Amino acid sequence: MAKKAIMQTPLGPLTELGQFKKDIIPGFNIIEQVGKGASSVVFSATDKKTGERVALKVFYLHYCKNREFVHRLIREADIVKRIRHPNVVAGYGYGTYEGYYYMVMEFADGDTLTQLLKTKLRLEEKEAAKIILQVARGLEAAEKQKTIHRDIKPSNIIITSAPEGIIARLTDFGLAREQVDTSLTMPGLILGTPLYVSPEQARGETNLDIRTDIYALGITFYQLIVGKPPFADLNTSLLLTKKITDDIPYPMHAAPGVSEETSAIIMKMCQREPARRYQNCASLIQDLELYLDGRFEPDATRIIQLSVEAPLSQEEIKSITDAEIKSGTLDPQVLTFSNPKILRPSEILFYEEDTSREAYLLLKGALEILKAGRRVALIDTPGSFVGEMSTLLKTGRTATVRAVERTILLEISEGKFQEFLHCTPEIALNLARDLASRLQSTTDKLKKAQGRLSTIIEHYRLIRDDLEKPLDE
């Protein structure tokens, strides 16, 4: 972030930081603004007692009035004070003045990794590995304090220069917590940055451990050598779903010149299942050190693929279809217009925003409907239609559909679906009624969303007015 000198003008709102006097916070002389984020502004300052240059992280007033936010702030200050490591920006404590809370931290004079990537889209592998190794060592110090960061990303890694080379330092433990404590986490709430969160974070799980940070550090490693994080071009909803349903692209296939050794380490860091990742920072550090020494063997981290179920024979499929027709679940005419489709467990039928137009009938098995990585519905009733609304309305898919178990479907193309409905008027009528019901439900939800938006706009106006009040009022 660009530095900005402090202007010596009367006190004013925190949104206009140039209006802060250099001695506004007792015990410190503010030198200049060095950063600004969504919740706070960071100044470099001098501690009047020690003469040491420090960083003051001052939080916006409306956050300081939020009891849970203050609780998190105090928790962060306490956590960072306990972690002492060359690769972690040290924290000295917190304070409050005139309703504002602030944190006092070691001043790290450098750029974030995000800023570095603006000038160098990709880093050389060894350079990237050295940075990741240092951050891993910092995380190991946090791990020893039974603490996880939960928001590892390039903007929370500061790069400073030293005679021995660059030093990477981890900062901003604002979402950190002790591994045994879930008191500050609500079930279903995603904490972290979507591009870097782990699959378990995307699912809203609360029982997280250091493997969550290892995943996010792996995504950061991927970005350093590929040029962008996995799934970066997707909307947030589909991104979070793919975190759960798909492995990240193999790095050496995503960018030219990436080695098999680096790819193997990243793939192990970013496995969807925590049990298949590095289980602690020590094992990750060991492999990174071996890689940098030229002694790492990719086969040592190779992930064993699970066995695949044997395919169903045509006779088995026919037997299942005949049973559903006999029970009255399935209209026999559908066989004229469809072809069988078999999904393996966890296999995707289609993704959100796909432009495919096929409709499906469920014969056997179960499908889950995923939105933003969460299951919003389960389809397990034989004879149920799947994806038919996109076929009827000629629109993109609105959610991702994945098999829960081995699932058998009948696939009907867009053209044949119209013919099928023409031959089965009762089914066509039921689908029309269902479509009308869904459209009405969508209309009702939009009206509610509009009401909530109006409330948010009013809330923002009140916050803005609050921020614009002079501090001495």
What's the CA gap between 423 and 421, in Å, rounded? Answer: 5
Contacts of 318 (CB under 8 A, 6+ apart): none
- CA-closest candidate to residue 196, choices 250, 234, 240: 240
151 is catalytic: yes
Beta bridge partners of 408: 342, 364
Catalytic residue among 151, 172, 213, 354: 151
Per-residue pLDDT, 220: 97
Whether 240 contacts 216, CB under 8 Å: no
The CATH superfamily label for domain 314-423 reads: Jelly Rolls (2.60.120.10)
Residues 420 and 431 sit within 8 Å (Cβ to Cβ) = no
Secondary structure class of 239 (helix, strand, coil) = helix
The domain 111-179+191-301: what is its CATH number? 1.10.510.10
CATH fold group of domain 4-106? Phosphorylase Kinase; domain 1 (3.30.200)
Distances (CA, A) of 108 to 91, 93, 147, 170: 11, 16, 22, 10
Over its C-alpha atoms, the chain yields an Rg (Å, rounded) of: 27
**Model pLDDT, residue 436:** 83
Domain borders along the chain are: 4-106, 111-179+191-301, 314-423, 429-473
Please state the φ and ψ torsions of residue 317, each to the nearest 5 degrees.
Answer: -65, -45
Pairing assessment for the beta strands 111-112 and 147-148 based on DSSP bridges: unpaired
Tell how strand 177-178 and strand 338-343 pair up.
Answer: unpaired
Q: What is the pLDDT along the chain (473 residues), one digit of tens a residue?
A: 333 333 332 333 444 444 455 667 888 999 988 877 777 888 999 999 999 999 998 888 888 888 888 888 888 788 788 888 999 998 888 899 888 899 898 888 888 999 999 998 899 999 999 999 999 999 999 999 888 888 899 999 999 888 888 899 998 775 444 443 333 333 444 445 899 999 999 988 888 999 999 999 999 999 999 999 999 999 999 999 999 999 999 999 999 999 999 999 999 999 999 999 999 999 999 999 999 999 998 887 766 555 556 677 888 888 888 888 888 888 888 889 999 999 999 999 999 999 999 999 999 999 999 998 889 999 999 989 999 989 988 999 999 999 999 999 999 999 999 898 888 888 888 888 887 887 787 788 888 888 888 887 776 676 666 555 554 44
pLDDT of residue 305: 56
Same fold, 4-106 and 111-179+191-301: no
Say if CB 56 and CB 102 are below 8 A apart: yes
Tokens for 347, please give them: 């296999």
Give pLDDT, residue 440: 84
Q: How far apart are CA 411 and CA 335, in angstroms?
A: 10
Residue 143: per-residue pLDDT: 92
Q: Are 190 and 155 within 8 A, CB to CB?
A: no
Neighbours of 77 (CB within 10 A): 21
